[in-house]
Structures are given as C-alpha cells and as structure tokens.
C-alpha cells in the first residue's frame, strides 16, 4: 500500500478539499474530494514524481488525462481538470473527474453477491456498448484494464467504466505496442504480456470479469487447459452463453469476436455466433448432443433421434423387403419345385439382394433409435450403445488413443450420397459413432476430442 499523500480536510490547489480515499493502484491514489468552486464531490487522482517508479507511469498518467478530456459518454465519468503542483523536492500530477457514486463489481462480489446468467448478460451488454464507443473513435481507445474493480454499478444498475490509467490509442485495425506490460493479471489477454493490444483485448478482460461475477473467483483460480480457462464445470449457464464466453476468452486475438459490436450483436441474438470468424469450435445451433467437459473428464451423450414419417416408411419397407426376400428364398424348398436347381439359383439371386437391402435400410432406422454415450477420463474411455433397453458397452485405455478423425462413408442405397462418422483409433481397435448426426456436429465433436486427447488433425 502506498503512503497516503493527503489527509482528510487538506486543500489542494486552493480548490479541492480531500474527504477520504477511494482507492489505490499502480497509476496513483484516488481521493474523494470536494470542489470548492462547484460544491460537488469529485474523484481526484494523484501521482507524484517521487513515487513513480519510472517515466512510463508519468507518461501513462498524462495520456489518461489527455484521452479523458476528449471522451463524452454517459457511462464514463466526465473529465474536469488536470494540473500539476510543484514542491521543493517533488512534483505532483492531479486528474479530476466527476465522481462515480455507488459500488464496484469487485466489492459487490466480495460482499457475497453472485450474478445470475441474466445479470451477467445485462452487465456485458452495457460494457460492450461502452467499448463499442471507445473502439469506434477516429483513433480507437483501448482501455486495457477491464476488471471488476473498474466497473461501478450504480443504484439504478447502470454500469460506469473508470480508471483509464492503462489506456492506449491505436490506429484502426492496428495493434498497439508498448515496452511496459500494463493491466491486471488474470484479466489480461495473453497478448498483453507481449506488450501488444487491439480492441479485442478488452473483450478478454470483460469475459474474465463475467467469470468472476458468476463464480466469485478470479480467472486465475479457475482450471486452465491448453492456455484456455476451463470454466464450463464452474458455472451453470446456457450452452449459448458458454459458447459466447469461450469465444471471448480465446487465447489468440483472431479467434475472438472481431469487435465489441459483433460480440454485442451475438449476445443480443441479432447475429449467429456461427457467422463469426473464429478458430473456436462451437456447438452447432439446434444440436441435441450434450457435451460435458472438464480438465480431466469428458462425456458425450447422443440422444435418440425422433423418427419422422419417412423413417417409419423406411422401416416398414425394409421389413417388407426382407420378408419378400425370405419368401422367395423358401420357394425352391416347396414340394412343387424342390430339387429344381435352376429355380433354386433364380430364387437365391433374387431373394438374397432383397434381404440384404432390407437389412441395410432397417439398420439405418435402428441407428436412429440408438442412444450413444462416450465417457473419457485421463486413464480410460468407455463407449455405450443402448437400443430399446438393450445395452452394449466397450472400453479401452486413454493412453492407447493415437487418432481421432472424421471418416466418410458412402451410403449403399444412395450412390451419390455420403455421411461422415467420428472415428477413434486405439492401437488396433477402431470405434465409430455419429452416423445419425449432421456433418457439422461430427466436425465439432472431433475438434473437442482432439483438444481433449491433445492430438492434431
């Protein structure tokens, strides 16, 4: 904790009366003060030349004042004043803003509050609207320190963004580079550790903040897998919102939403997440597959597909074909044609294909009635098929899995039609599933499985 520069009742520049301390951070100490000219309370931030570790902090402080003086948004405290006070052995820099009353999201969580999914979405929408404004300026403004402490929720539940001490300005579409790493660990996007930032850097900080609101724990306290925060087991939210959060938290900037405006459009249901360019595998819209995943465990449930009239017709047709085929095969053994070799050959040539085709059609229908589950942990995996209460189960060692891939099979009754299946290879053993799924669902499952097994395509 920094040594306080001012005490309650002290006057600064013959204008501001110190009331109490609002907060302390790397970019200075912020006081609650009273403006003697307007009789209004303000937030007065101060940084001294002596307490600054390097000139970079002075540069950031001056940049904060300069940028704030150009901003005009109801959710950003209004800039009021910037000045310096020279002392015999020091120089003090001051920044005055309109005071953002009420409580930070960090304090609300520390007091026991947890956000519901709807509350988290409402907060996200407000912050994204602020970020859309900042990122859409002629010279886009990147906050670089989106976190619970810097988001104030007022009594009317409106969110206010404060503390622009890490702010950076960039040209449209370009990265900003800095020699000093700024931000808050846990809420910093990976590229910030390399001194880089773009507008989507702020999206990562917002998503980390939302996880804190939902769990009560900072992102650093949540599991991590392949440099990604593995949060799905830690929160109870809809699949759509979890997919949205996962895209916001993508380690690579290019895998996040393209902008705050795009993230907002998806969150509000005005745009489909599948239409956003991303390297993140997202569950296809409308998919009934249930996937549960943590760092050491994955469960995939493929439910029974409801039979449609076409499937029922196919089932009846296949049974009829098989029955006809059996009847034709039985003809040579009737008293009238027994020992008639040509008749036996003819009946076999007609009956066998009918039985085979009927069996193939029936197998396709049965596939739609089959429920499938794949359960994997770090030592074993288990596959279970269930049909009308009859179960078949097989298992193997996770360490033996050396390939997960999509294979393409041609449907025997449709020469120009193919289907994709998921395939797991463990040594000499081959396991296939997913015939009843759409190709896009199998592609999504393969991406998830490869990531879990840490295998390349």
Q: What is the pLDDT of residues 393-428, one digit of tens each?
A: 899 999 999 889 888 876 554 555 677 889 999 988
Q: Check pLDDT > 60 for residue 241.
A: yes
pLDDT value for 432: 87
The CATH fold of domain 103-282: Transferase(Phosphotransferase); domain 1 (1.10.510)
* C-alpha closest to that of 104 among 61, 149, 64: 149
Given 35, 145, 163, 255, the catalytic residue? 145
Q: Of the given ranges (174-188, 337-351, 396-410, 412-426), which has the lowest mean pLDDT?
A: 337-351
Residue 71: what pLDDT?
95
Residue 177: the pLDDT is 47
Question: Any catalytic annotation for residue 39?
Answer: no
- For residue 319, name the pLDDT band (cuts at 50, 70, 90): low
Burial of 454 (0-12, 13-18, 19+ CB in 10 A): exposed
- pLDDT tens digits along 265-318: 999 999 988 788 665 667 787 788 888 876 678 889 888 655 555 545 554 555
Query: Taking the CB of residue 417, how many other CB atoms lie within 10 A of it?
Result: 9
Residue 215 has pLDDT above 60, yes or no: yes
> How high is the pLDDT of residue 3?
65
Query: Contact, 101 vs 74, CB < 8 A?
Result: no
Q: What mean pLDDT is reported for the chain?
A: 82
Question: Residue 37, SS3?
Answer: coil
Give CATH 3.30.200.20 domain extents, the chain. Answer: 11-98
Could you tell me where in the chain the CATH 1.10.510.10 domains are found? 103-282
Query: Average pLDDT of 230-247?
Result: 91
On the question of pLDDT at 346 being above 50, the answer is no
Per the structure block, which two tokens stand in for 147? 């976190």
pLDDT, one tens digit per residue, over 380-395 is 999 998 876 678 889 9
How many Å apart are CA 197 and CA 145, to the nearest integer?
11
89-103, 271-285, 354-368: least confidently modelled range: 354-368
For range 23-29, the mean pLDDT: 79
Give me the phi and psi of 15, to 5 degrees please.
-140, -40
Write the CATH number of the domain with boundaries 11-98.
3.30.200.20
Of residues 182, 221, 234, 201, the one with CA closest to residue 61: 182
How far is it between the farthest Cα atoms of the chain?
A: 126
Question: In terms of Cα–Cα distance, which of 244, 71, 89, 100 is closest to 160?
Answer: 100
For residue 255, give every residue at least 6 positions away whose Cβ sits within 8 Å of its Cβ, in sequence order, or none: 247, 278, 279, 280
Q: What is the pLDDT of residue 172?
A: 47
Q: Among the listed ranges 218-227, 278-287, 319-328, which one has the minimum average pLDDT value?
A: 319-328
What is the predicted pLDDT for the residue at 363? 53
Q: Which residue has the higher pLDDT, 210 or 369?
A: 210
Instruction: Give pTM, 2 decimals.
Output: 0.66
For 148-165, what is the mean pLDDT?
Answer: 94
- Judge contact between 223 and 264, C-beta under 8 A: no
Q: What is the pLDDT of residue 358?
A: 44
Give me the DSSP letters along 15-78. Answer: TEEEEEEEEEETTEEEEEEEETTTTEEEEEEEEETTT-SSHHHHHHHHHHHHHHTT---TTSPP
């Amino acid at each position: 904790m920094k040594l306080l520069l001012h005490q309650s009742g002290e006057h600064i520049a013959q204008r501001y009366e110190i009331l109490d301390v609002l907060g302390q951070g790397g970019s200075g100490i912020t006081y609650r003060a009273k403006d003697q000219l307007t009789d209004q309370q303000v937030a007065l931030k101060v940084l001294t030349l002596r307490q600054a570790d390097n000139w970079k902090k002075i540069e950031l402080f001056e940049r904060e004042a300069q940028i704030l003086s150009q901003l005009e948004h109801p959710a950003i405290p209004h800039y009021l004043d910037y000045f310096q006070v020279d002392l015999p052995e020091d120089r003090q820099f001051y920044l005055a803003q309109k005071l953002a009353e009420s409580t930070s999201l960090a304090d609300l969580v520390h007091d026991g509050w947890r956000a519901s999914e709807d509350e988290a979405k409402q907060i996200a929408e407000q912050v994204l609207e602020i970020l859309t404004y900042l990122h859409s300026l002629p010279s886009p403004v990147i906050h670089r320190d989106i976190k619970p402490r810097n988001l104030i929720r007022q009594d009317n539940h409106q969110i206010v963004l404060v503390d622009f001490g890490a702010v950076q300005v960039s040209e449209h579409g370009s990265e900003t580079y800095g020699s000093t790493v700024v931000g808050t660990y846990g809420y910093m996007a990976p590229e910030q550790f390399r001194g880089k930032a773009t507008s989507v850097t702020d999206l990562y900080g917002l998503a980390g903040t939302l996880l804190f609101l939902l769990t009560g724990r900072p992102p650093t306290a949540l599991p991590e897998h392949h440099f990604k925060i593995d949060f799905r087991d830690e929160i109870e939210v809809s699949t759509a919102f979890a997919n949205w959060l996962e895209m916001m938290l993508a380690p690579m900037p290019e895998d996040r939403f393209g902008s705050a405006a795009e993230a907002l459009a998806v969150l509000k249901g005005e745009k489909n997440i599948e239409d956003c360019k991303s390297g993140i595998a997202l569950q296809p819209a409308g998919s009934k597959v249930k996937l549960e995943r943590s760092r050491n465990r994955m469960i995939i449930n493929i439910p029974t597909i409801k039979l449609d009239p076409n499937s029922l017709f196919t089932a009846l047709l296949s049974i009829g074909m098989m029955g006809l085929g059996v009847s034709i095969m039985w003809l040579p053994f009737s008293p009238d044609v027994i020992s008639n070799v040509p008749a036996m050959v003819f009946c076999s040539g007609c009956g066998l294909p009918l039985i085979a085709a009927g069996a193939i059609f029936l197998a396709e229908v049965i596939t739609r009635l089959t429920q499938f589950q794949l359960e994997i942990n770090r030592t074993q995996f288990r596959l279970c098929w269930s049909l009308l209460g009859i179960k078949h189960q097989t298992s193997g060692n996770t360490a033996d899995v050396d390939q997960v891939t999509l294979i393409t099979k041609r449907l025997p009754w449709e020469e120009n039609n193919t289907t994709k299946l998921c395939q797991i290879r463990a040594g000499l053993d081959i396991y296939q599933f997913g015939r009843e799924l759409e190709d896009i669902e199998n592609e999504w499952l393969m991406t998830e499985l490869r990531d879990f097994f840490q295998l390349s395509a």
